[in-house]
């Protein structure tokens, strides 16, 4: 019973992360509209997150080892790279396209975990992942126009692959390092990567940033999308598989489209409704095994 309760708490934490990240798509657009460049946005959001997590996890951090730094630093570099690519891509495509393409990591993660870590996902999990992928595709592909790939879409595809590496890597190391340490080290490494990218490639754009207009979006991304979300993800992935985590976090694609509609960035369409139903049904199959329910109800009839 206790194990089932921990699994439920983990799933709820991951779902809350998906909600926060879903809203993060239009919030990122707000930051882009404030002329905050990709590297600067990554440096600011993860710098804020590192300060918060460092204050909360101060006691844990006093016992940091080089092994912790190596494991957490690598996770942070992968994470920072993924977000750099996502922000670059989102500046060249729509929030829904970005949400859909990012959510492709749902179908990539099970195969990466299988290939690199010998963690074969169940057939049901693979089916659920495929269902989420189909639902995400329905969200943004119309029979008339299809999905038109541009440079932003291709960059976001690369981002999806790197995000899948991050989820798989966390699934591998989450039990080998305390959640507070891992979250802090990820935030620091990602912030330093964003700072280095800004200094190397975007220094001329820093003066154009409207920090007063971008303050609220950056605080949202730093406090909620980063500090809270990655601590919650790190904790939850100690009690679930990478494939299961990827499926739940894949809701961010649906939620990103919903929030984009509510905030007036895109119209409500039949694709959004149908795609949402497919994703919801797929997640329901993950939580409730239809075959097992059928056997319990009719097996003795």
- Tell me how far apart the alpha carbons of residues 187 and 46 are, in angstroms, rounded to a whole number: 5
- The predicted model gives 106-126 an average pLDDT of 74
Q: pLDDT band at residue 151, thresholds of 50, 70 and 90?
A: confident
Rank 135-144, 219-228, 229-238 by mean pLDDT and report only the highest: 219-228
For position 270, what pLDDT does the model report?
Answer: 80
Please state, in angstroms and rounded to a whole number, the distance separating the CA atoms of residues 154 and 86. Answer: 10
Q: Could you read off the pLDDT of 51-108 as tens digits, one per residue?
A: 999 998 888 888 899 999 999 999 999 999 999 998 898 888 777 777 777 777 767 7
pLDDT > 50? residue 1: no
Least confident of 1-10, 113-122, 143-152: 143-152
Q: What is the mean pLDDT of residues 148-165?
A: 82
Weakest-pLDDT range from 105-109, 148-152, 285-289: 285-289
Q: What is the pLDDT at residue 85?
A: 94
* Average pLDDT of the residues of the chain: 82
Instruction: Summarize the confidence of residues 17-28 as an average pLDDT.
Output: 90
């Amino acid at each position: 019973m206790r194990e089932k309760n921990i699994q439920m708490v983990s799933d709820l934490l991951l779902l809350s992360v998906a909600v926060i990240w879903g809203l993060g798509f239009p919030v990122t657009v707000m930051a882009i509209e404030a002329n905050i460049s990709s590297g600067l946005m990554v440096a600011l959001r993860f710098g804020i997150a590192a300060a918060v997590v460092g204050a909360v996890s101060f006691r844990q951090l006093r016992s940091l080892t080089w092994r912790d730094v190596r494991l957490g630093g690598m996770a942070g570099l992968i994470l920072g790279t993924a977000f750099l690519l996502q922000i670059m891509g989102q500046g060249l495509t729509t929030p829904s396209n970005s949400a859909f393409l990012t959510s492709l990591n749902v179908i990539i993660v099970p195969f990466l975990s299988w290939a690199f870590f010998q963690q074969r996902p169940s057939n049901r999990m693979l089916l659920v992942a495929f269902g989420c992928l189909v639902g995400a595709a329905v969200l943004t592909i119309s029979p008339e126009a299809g999905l038109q790939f541009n440079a932003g879409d291709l960059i976001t595809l690369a981002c999806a692959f790197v995000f899948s590496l991050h989820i798989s890597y966390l699934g591998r190391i989450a039990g080998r390092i305390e959640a507070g340490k891992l979250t802090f080290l990820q935030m620091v490494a990602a912030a330093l990567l964003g700072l280095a990218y800004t200094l190397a490639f975007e220094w001329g754009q820093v003066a154009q940033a409207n920090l007063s207009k971008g303050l609220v979006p950056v605080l949202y991304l730093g406090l909620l999308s980063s500090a809270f979300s990655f601590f919650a993800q790190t904790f939850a992935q100690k009690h679930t598989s990478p494939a299961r985590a990827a499926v739940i976090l894949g809701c961010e694609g649906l939620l990103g489209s919903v929030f984009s509609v509510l905030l007036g960035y895109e119209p409500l369409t039949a694709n959004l409704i149908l795609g949402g139903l497919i994703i919801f049904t797929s997640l329901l199959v993950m939580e409730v095994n239809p075959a097992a329910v059928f056997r319990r109800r009719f097996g003795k009839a």
